[in-house]
């Protein structure tokens, strides 16, 4: 068999093997992405053609006060979730990794359980628990503040409480990642450190923390991306209110597209968020990697 013949056969196999992914990727990701970019330069409604308007949507967006409110709310939410959830997950992972065998598996399952719930169930559970009149958590709130609080209707409480719900919901996954990271640290390093005279505190800061850093950086980055995309919990718990205090970028995109029928404008919102997430997450990951190498 000739060389070119063999090469052609190899190419055919390669094409055959990559085709399923390429087709799915093109149909469900590449084409929609192209469509969003194209839409964001038009004044089209959600369905149907529109006219080319150039950068008009973006100009309007950057003069839209509500957009800045939602952008700020997004960052506020990131602040409330990303580092707290990582710290909590790390503490839980450290505690769980001290357990042995079945107890460990059981406890880990319990921490992971909320993660398998659909968001609608999670928000239902929490809106009941925090119900102004009947919620079982209201006595706790009353004990601290002196009176019951309708948390999802209170401008100061709404974002922190959505953050609490989100952390409760997604923390199990981070715990799992960090446990895997902890298991990768050889036990004899801790024994060597004990012989070298390290206290438990020093063992954590000088052995565990630096060796776990790649996983911690990964968790932080995944969380950042995830929490910038906050939508479901806000939509289900507060609807963006009160007084737009929980109005986030994707909420705005949703309303423009599906309620106000402004497909072009909504696409511009989506594009800005997309670019923002890419830039911020790349920036963060690079910063974290440099921090880890030091």
Using the rule CB under 8 A, which residue among 118, 155, 186, 239 binds another protein? 186
Using the rule CB under 8 A, which residue among 22, 99, 192, 260 binds another protein? 192
- Compare residues 139 and 186 and give the one whose CB is closer to another protein: 186
Rounded CA separation 191/189 (Å): 5
Touching another protein, residues 204-243 (CB under 8 A): 206-207, 210-211
Using the rule CB under 8 A, which residue among 18, 26, 103, 202 binds another protein? 202
Q: State both tokens at 162.
A: 């959505």
Does residue 191 bind another protein (CB under 8 A)? Answer: yes
Q: Which residue has the tokens 């997950």?
A: 89
Contact 264, 255 (CB under 8 A): no
Stretch that binds another protein, among 11-19, 58-66, 199-207, 280-288 (CB under 8 A): 199-207
Rounded CA separation 261/44 (Å): 9
Using the rule CB under 8 A, which residue among 3, 48, 63, 188 binds another protein? 188
Q: State both tokens at 120.
A: 């609608």
The vertex-158 CA angle with 62 and 114, nearest 5°, equals 110
Under DSSP, the state recorded for 55 is T
**End-to-end Cα, the chain, rounded Å:** 55
Does residue 288 bind another protein (CB under 8 A)? Answer: no
Does residue 49 bind another protein (CB under 8 A)? Answer: no
Query: Who's near 171: CB < 8 A, 6+ residues apart?
Result: 85, 88, 89, 92, 111, 114, 115
Using the rule CB under 8 A, which residue among 79, 95, 194, 260 binds another protein? 194
Q: State both tokens at 184.
A: 């990768």
Rounded CA separation 221/283 (Å): 10
Q: Please tell me the count of residues contacting another protein according to CB under 8 A.
A: 16
Stretch that binds another protein, among 11-19, 76-84, 182-190, 226-234 (CB under 8 A): 182-190
Stretch that binds another protein, among 105-113, 170-178, 184-192, 221-229 (CB under 8 A): 184-192
Min dist. Cβ of residue 212 to another protein (A): 10
For 176, 179, 190, 230, the CA distances from 223, given in Å and listed in that order, are 14, 16, 29, 11
Does residue 102 bind another protein (CB under 8 A)? Answer: no
Closest CA to 155 of 224, 245, 277, 68: 245
Stretch that binds another protein, among 59-67, 82-90, 103-111, 192-200 (CB under 8 A): 192-200
- Compare residues 208 and 267 and give the one whose CB is closer to another protein: 208
Min dist. Cβ of residue 181 to another protein (A): 13
* Interface residues toward another protein, by CB under 8 A: 186, 188-189, 191-198, 202, 206-207, 210-211
């Amino acid at each position: 068999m000739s060389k070119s013949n063999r090469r052609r056969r190899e190419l055919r196999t390669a094409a055959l093997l990559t085709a399923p992914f390429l087709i799915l990727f093109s149909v469900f990701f590449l084409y929609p992405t192209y469509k969003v970019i194209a839409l964001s330069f038009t004044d089209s409604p959600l369905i149907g053609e529109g006219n080319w308007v150039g950068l008009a949507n973006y100009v309007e967006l950057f003069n839209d006060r509500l957009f800045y409110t939602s952008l700020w709310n997004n960052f506020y939410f990131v602040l409330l979730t990303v580092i707290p959830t990582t710290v909590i997950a790390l503490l839980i992972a450290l505690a769980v990794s001290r357990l042995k065998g079945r107890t460990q598996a059981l406890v880990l399952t319990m921490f992971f359980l909320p993660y398998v719930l659909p968001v609608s169930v999670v928000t239902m559970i929490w809106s009941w628990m925090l119900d102004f009149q009947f919620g079982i958590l209201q006595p706790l709130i009353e004990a601290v503040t002196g009176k019951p609080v309708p948390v999802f209707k209170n401008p100061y409480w709404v974002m922190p409480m959505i953050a609490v719900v989100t952390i409760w919901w997604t923390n199990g996954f981070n715990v799992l990642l960090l446990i895997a990271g902890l298991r990768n640290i050889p036990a004899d390093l801790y024994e060597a450190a004990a012989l070298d005279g390290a206290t438990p505190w020093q063992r954590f800061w000088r052995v565990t923390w630096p060796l776990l850093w790649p996983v911690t950086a990964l968790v932080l980055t995944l969380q950042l991306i995830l929490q910038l995309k906050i939508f479901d919990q806000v939509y289900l718990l507060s609807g963006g209110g009160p007084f737009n205090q929980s109005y986030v970028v994707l909420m705005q995109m949703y309303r423009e597209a599906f309620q106000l029928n402004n497909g072009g404008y909504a696409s511009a919102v989506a594009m800005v968020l997309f670019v923002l997430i890419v830039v911020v997450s790349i920036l963060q990951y690079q910063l974290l990697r440099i921090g880890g190498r030091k």
